[in-house]
Structure 1
Amino acid sequence: GFDVAVEVPVRARLFAVSESEFVLAMVVHHISGDGFSMGPLTRDVMVAYEARSRGEVPGWAPLAVQYADYALWQREVLGSEDDAASLISRQVEFWSRALAGLPDQLDLPADRPRPAVASNRGADHSFVVGADVHAGLNDVARESNSSLFMVVHAALAVLLARLSGTSDIAIGTPVAGRGEQVLDDVIGMFVNTLVLRTEVEGAARFVDLLASVREADLQAFGHADVPFERLVEVLNPERSQARNPLFQVMLVFQNMEQSVLELGDLTVAGVDAGSVSAKFDL
């Protein structure tokens, strides 16, 4: 664990697997870094390694902005919830309307009862979407003026509606929260979670459902600045240690590039940690 009031919540250890193979393990508290941060963090470590191997001090380029600058800017732009005309107030009002009456729980078929307190133990199931299916999904996206994410979201909503026997479907999705290019090199916690709500009518054509999903997604992405934890406080759903509030299924597009680096005679690549945790049902 970390005491974030005492130390910078980043820890590193180097493990020797053999005379020629080593593993550098880094633990970063989520309060100080998100998935996108791993790119610049890896780059900075490599710059440091290359410099130190030559007996020199790393020559990192100074950042144009610091995370503290972003935090101050965000607070200034969002304004106060006490001001009805502020951006944060308008976005909270949008979400209060969009998620009004949302069911507390989406019941999906399960092979075991839901525990009173979620264990957060999870598992992975991997499969490949064929190139022909991928091409077809992209065709549907182009024809409907939608993104690939929206098409997959609509298809997932149909599946969840059929599995649950309900029509009111909410899924969560993360957004990077880095709206300015100047933030690309900053290590910090920018990501936010959005709740995407869809009404799946059994008699509707998929093209019509996709149109409504597209509109709902665009509206959600346009109101993405309210922190999820604040949204939970405002909407105040029934709390339970057995499930995630507001949604229990998350859809994530992990389309970040995986890098393999060459530093002289050193080859560097990522290692799958192997442990799987799950905050959501699916």
Structure 2
Amino acid sequence: MDRSVAVRLMERFGSTSAENRRVFYDKMRSEGVALSQLPIVPRPAGAGGGETPSAAQLRQWFLWRLAPSSTAYHISGALRLEGVLDVSALWASFAALVERHESLRTVFRADAEGRVEQHIFAAMPIEAPLIDLGEVAEAEREGRMRERAQAICDLPFDLTQGPLLRVAVIRTGEKEHVLVVVMHHIVSDGWSMQIIVEEFVAQYRARLRGEAAALEPLPIQYADYAAWQRNWLEAGEKERQLSYWRGQLGAEHPVLQLPTDHPRKAEGGYRAGRYAVEAPARLIAALQRRAQAEEATLFMALLAGLQALLHRYAGESDIRVGVPIANRHRAETEGVVGFFVNTQVLRNVVEPRRSFSHLLRRTREAALGAQAHQDLPFEQLVEALQPDRNLGTNPLFQVMFNHQRQDRRALQDLPGLRLTELSLGDQGAQFELAVDSVEDSDGR
């Protein structure tokens, strides 16, 4: 289909009635036209206030209203900057990021009827404190810096007022600074943090040269994606994908009961503890060979191993693990800051007498099926399946597994500066157990 024709079709699709959108959807399906073949188009000119959030954002609003002081959905990172820092160029770079990405100047408010709306401002200043610890005794400086950085990360966000991006610079020496960046999940995700780091580097480099950064214009903004997703789901895509998930997960939704040495809290509020281990290269190489023999990926092999482990510790066979996906399979969304990530529930029935190869094949089948049905928001899946709900238990799964490939090239040194990542302290826990595996570009 010619792109100009496809764009006009999608513009008409977005502006017509819900009934006409369903007719359009059915016609496209009958002609074999897939969702991925049609573009996401920008909202009409002048849009930007009083718009409906995405399904994922509505869930974040609900969780925030339940626990407005929780840090469980704060996305934070810190960089140690060694060398000569141009603070004015740094703040100008972040101001340019806010101007470029609508999500970073968006707030959320409920109207008189309780309907939640997102409001996008034409401009929004960000908080930009410079905290100078130069007068603190050198022996105490590192500890004080970490305390201040953690306090910045733990400060609650007000989703109704914003800004929902917080940036601070902590000066620990004449040529030593720490950059702290915190966002609320309702406007961002892990992929977005990578975008912000890469664009910050580009903006900062350009400003040192007295130039504007040569970044390609964004084809859409997050609110354009949210409207597109809502229209397609309402037109019929929700029913199609929900049918798959009903068949995959069934009508019973058991709660995984891992053994603990303390009673669980009724309200389910916990501080997360983090433990790290580096897997030996020989083990990873062997896992990759085993996965390839089953036409699977390293992610699938690690997930199958986790499912077997959960089965052994919980003594249950029906194992369901939550897996986040970037949900950026559309070219238009790759460079946009926003809350795109979706959560899928990957189920496996572990049979102790079966081999690991059998378990891995089942995991592979579930992962491929989920990938083909990844557009249904987790929030709508929960609403449709209606599992038993309580504050102390996450619906549909209690353990999260996240496998990422990490490219450290984004942390390239800037003129006069050397950048290194800085690990901050723990934050609120989202799930009973979260297992994160990070695959480095060098194979570790």
TM-score by length of 1: 0.91
Are the structure 2 counterparts of residues 114 and 4 from structure 1 closer, same or farther at C-alpha, using a change threshold of 3 Å? closer
Q: 1:279 aligns with which of 405, 430, 433?
A: 430
Instruction: Indicate whether 1:139 and 2:292 are aligned.
Output: no
* Alpha-carbon distance, 1:69 to partner: 2.5
* Alpha-carbon distance, 1:189 to partner: 0.8
Letter in 2 for 1:270: E
Structure richer in helix, relative to its length: 2
CA–CA distance in structure 1, aligned partners of residues 354 and 308 of structure 2: 11
Deviating more after overlay: 52-61 vs 3-12 = 52-61
Name the SS for the 2:348 alignment partner.
strand
Identity %: 39
Say if 1:104 and 1:238, in contact at 8 Å, map to a contact too: no
Name the SS for the 1:269 alignment partner.
strand
Structure 1 stretches of 4+ with a deviation exceeding 6 A read: none
Say if 1:120 and 1:278, in contact at 8 Å, map to a contact too: yes
Say if 2:271 and 2:426, in contact at 8 Å, map to a contact too: no
Instruction: Indicate whether 1:65 and 2:216 are aligned.
Output: no
Instruction: Indicate whether 1:184 and 2:356 are aligned.
Output: no
* Alpha-carbon distance, 1:77 to partner: 3.1
Instruction: Indicate whether 1:87 and 2:242 are aligned.
Output: no
Instruction: Indicate whether 1:207 and 2:362 are aligned.
Output: no
Say if 2:274 and 2:426, in contact at 8 Å, map to a contact too: no
Letter in 1 for 2:399: V
* Alpha-carbon distance, 1:51 to partner: 3.4
Letter in 2 for 1:49: Y
Are the structure 2 counterparts of residues 255 and 277 from structure 1 closer, same or farther at C-alpha, using a change threshold of 3 Å? farther
Instruction: Indicate whether 1:38 and 2:189 are aligned.
Output: no
Say if 2:238 and 2:376, in contact at 8 Å, map to a contact too: yes
Q: 1:160 aligns with which of 302, 310, 315?
A: 310
Name the SS for the 1:277 alignment partner.
coil
Residues 202-232 of structure 1 deviation map (CA, whole Å, 9 limit, x = unaligned): 2112222221221112112211111112211
Letter in 1 for 2:195: P
TM alignment of 1:43-58, pairs within 5 A: 43-58=198-213
Residues 125-162 of structure 1 deviation map (CA, whole Å, 9 limit, x = unaligned): 11121111111111111110111111111111111111
Name the SS for the 2:308 alignment partner.
helix
Q: 2:400 aligns with which of 237, 242, 250?
A: 250
- Matched with 1:13 is 168
Say if 1:96 and 1:235, in contact at 8 Å, map to a contact too: yes
Name the SS for the 1:28 alignment partner.
strand
Residues 227-257 of structure 1 deviation map (CA, whole Å, 9 limit, x = unaligned): 1122111111111111211111111112132
Matched pairs, number: 277
Q: 2:416 aligns with which of 265, 268, 271?
A: 265
Uncovered stretches (5+) of structure 2, i.e. residues with no partner:
1-155, 434-444
- Matched with 1:127 is 277
CA–CA distance in structure 2, aligned partners of residues 173 and 140 of structure 1: 21
Name the SS for the 2:323 alignment partner.
strand
Instruction: Indicate whether 1:148 and 2:303 are aligned.
Output: no
TM-score by length of 2: 0.59
Deviating more after overlay: 91-100 vs 31-40 = 91-100
Letter in 2 for 1:267: R
- Quote the RMSD (CA, aligned, Å): 1.9
Structure richer in strand, relative to its length: 2
Say if 2:267 and 2:391, in contact at 8 Å, map to a contact too: yes
CA–CA distance in structure 1, aligned partners of residues 310 and 426 of structure 2: 27
